[in-house]
Amino acid sequence: MKHACFTLAFLAAAWPCAAAETPIRLKVAAGKVGEVCMPLRAGDTLAWTFEASAPADFNLHHHVDKEVLMPVQRKAVAADRAQHTADRANDWCLMWTAPAGQGISVTGTWQVVRATAR
């Protein structure tokens, strides 16, 4: 992958390099959480799209020491398509919380577009 990113950057003058889409397939028990985490570098953009079988709370978060930073929060959503650019290098997580009385299934994809050196 590094070679492909370098080749694109060389040929297209700092063209961003996107990794392949990664599928999301989760089953989350009633009242529990499910998450998918990935390492991001500062300036990387994470794009996601998903559908849940029932409305659920969703967030994008990461941890700094003991603090949880949550730049994206959605309440009771059954679908979302968005992106976020990381402000720091860290492990970032997409997280769903199933309603107390109902489990959910979540399907979708996520993809990272790597920041390029300028």
CATH of 16-114, picked from 2.60.120.680, 3.30.565.10, 3.30.70.260, 2.10.109.10, is 2.60.120.680
pLDDT higher than threshold 90 for residue 111: yes
What pTM, to 2 d.p., does this model score?
A: 0.83
pLDDT in tens, 75-84: 999 999 999 9
The distance in angstroms from the start CA to the end CA of the chain is 19
Q: Where are the domains of the chain?
A: 16-114
71: alpha, beta or left? (left if phi > 0; alpha if psi -120 to 50): alpha
pLDDT in tens, 79-109: 999 999 999 999 999 999 999 999 999 999 9
